Structure 1
Amino acid sequence: MRPLERHRDAGAYALGVLDAADTFRFDDHLMDCPPCRAVVAELVPAAQQLAAYRGRTPPPVDPLAAPGPGLIDRLLGETVRLRRAGRRRWLCAVAAGVVLALAAPATAVLRAGGPGPEQITARDGRSGVSATLTARGRDWGTDVGLRVRDPHGGARVCELVAVGTDGSEQTVTTWRAPQESSGEEPAGLSTGGGAALPREDIARYEVRTTGGQRLLTLRRP
């Protein structure tokens, strides 16, 4: 996929309509593209409005029925208001992330919730591990995609663990990153898996070694 096409996929990604392969490719792109991260964050209110409309439509209504003439105007007006509020929240989150990145070893830089996919990007200053996680609620639990960079790739086997609000833990996926040559920037590795926990019942995700050392914490909003 060409870079321009990846930028155009930001809207589909925010609404959760990309297939699994394109989603993982966009996860990689999102780590290195601040403009696309901003677009995804801004589209969250629009996704919330669509979900609200779907939730307020009674099941007996014909799925092809057209909305009333005033509904679209109200949705558009509310979306504009929420987008402005969302932009302010996003700018505050970025500013806070920069401050915390200087003061704390592990910091979440961007979080986007809502009914669509949930993205969390974080880096741990002590371990050097950074990652972007994408979580989608499913009927069976939570579908998770992960793009991770590890400066010690190849030297250790790692795992992603979902930690529930009740303290329970489930391993989502495990991996061994390829060993990089000395002096090279660590390459990103894409992986994915699932947890039986519903997305709203997960408090955080942790990247650990299989020996139990915690390398990175990704906290949900």
Structure 2
Amino acid sequence: MRSQERHHDAGAYALGVLDEVDAFRFEDHLMECPQCAAQVTEFGPPTRQLMLYREATPRVVHPFAGPGPRLLDRLLGEVAARHRARRRRVLYAVAASVVVALAGPALVMLSAGGDEREAVQVTATDERSGVWAQVTVEDEAWGSNVRLQVKDGAGPRDCRLIVIGRDGSERTVTNWMVPHHDARPTEVQGGTDLHADQILRYEIRSTDGEQLVTLKAP
């Protein structure tokens, strides 16, 4: 399969619907494609939402219920068509459409009692690297939704956002490529299973290990 066709497998891989052979081939492709790596990371929050739904599925829903090929095609098509739109709104809308298609009224049972929490925002600039970053964190039932805005005029280079837990653990939230000498703000989004009050700090690092900026959690 051509590399361009492999790009379309990112959503299916994140949702776990590729067969073993295609998943193995996509993982080889993933090692050399930052674009697909970023897309797989973006599918993290809705995938976790679906896992939570599966664990809480009432018995009235057939245990083998799953998204069919046409539903998956619509899911991937919507993400691709609106890739530059506000990612949080798109991804949660897609996740919600899958749940509604599977269970309908069961969604009301699962969402009852949920509460909205205020977003936490931190900003920092590193004097040595010149990188400016702003992290906005929204607490969710499964962990935290993380939105990053970053200005870095020293590209091109591949970067990633790391969260450091208060227990010393590290999670990679998302990754992206900084264009060549482009200081315009870049916005990316990802998720972590840590809640906001479990996070000690956020670090932006290049893929070769250089620490570009650190943001301390409030």
TM range (shorter): 0.3 to 0.5
TM-score in terms of structure 1 length: 0.46
TM-score in terms of structure 2 length: 0.47
